[in-house]
Amino acid sequence: SQTIHQWPATLVQPVGSPLSLECTVEGTSNPNLYWYRQAAGRGLQLLFYSVGIGQISSEVPQNLSASRPQDRQFILSSKKLLLSDSGFYLCAWNPGGYEQYFGPGTRLTVT
Amino acid sequence: EDKVVQSPLSLVVHEGDTVTLNCSYEVTNFRSLLWYKQEKKAPTFLFMLTSSGIEKKSGRLSSILDKKELFSILNITATQTGDSAVYLCAVGRSGGGADGLTFGKGTHLIIQP
């Protein structure tokens, strides 16, 4: 069966520091992968999606970037965090249909 | 811009009551509507609807889509305290499924014993 992992589970970072969040999927190959952010009082917002290695589509302009160095690995990064980057970051995958399945999430607090 | 609006934003009922959650949408090239349940952590998938008028059912939960009027409802009968959660509605665009989902803000449902 397929499993999606995210780490770290929680993170507290100062403003201006770099960020790297990792997502990996097991038990499948060539999944579509997604990064979402859920900020307090707001809905889930799609940040990036990827249909294959090295292929990244950005939905919202911001100081975040994403990379997909391996088939089942998706990384969310920032060179300098802002206070507004605080939120719950969720990685999701789908095997090619329309259903998406979410990882456990990373709760990021920027201080 | 794609838009998903859920109502009510919050709802408090007693155990055993039946609830109806609403989701309306405006999406270019609509392909699917999905319902998720979120309890503090990651959303868990409940239903996906693509065809109008066909009810999806799982235990006490059911959902139906009206593509003409651009809305969906999620019904929960005989509610239990374990049904307390945020229920999220999302829509998917055409594009082979690769495009991400557009989510509403959710309905925060509280079931009182």
Domains of chain A listed by start with CATH number: 3-110 (2.60.40.10)
What residue ranges of chain A have pLDDT lower than 50? none
Indicate yes or no: CB of B31 within 8 angstroms of CB of A98.
yes
For residue B99, the chain A residues in CB contact (below 8 A) are 49
Average pLDDT per block of 10 residues along chain B, 113 residues long: 93 98 92 93 92 88 94 97 97 72 95 96
Helix (H, G, I), strand (E, B) or coil at A85: helix
Domain B3-112 has CATH 2.60.40.10: yes
pLDDT confidence of residue A103? 95
Show me where the domains of chain B are located: 3-112
In a mutational test of the A interface, the residue from B38, B89, B93 whose CB has the highest number of chain A CBs within 10 Å is B38
What lies within 8 Å, CB to CB, of A83 at 6+ separation is A15, A110
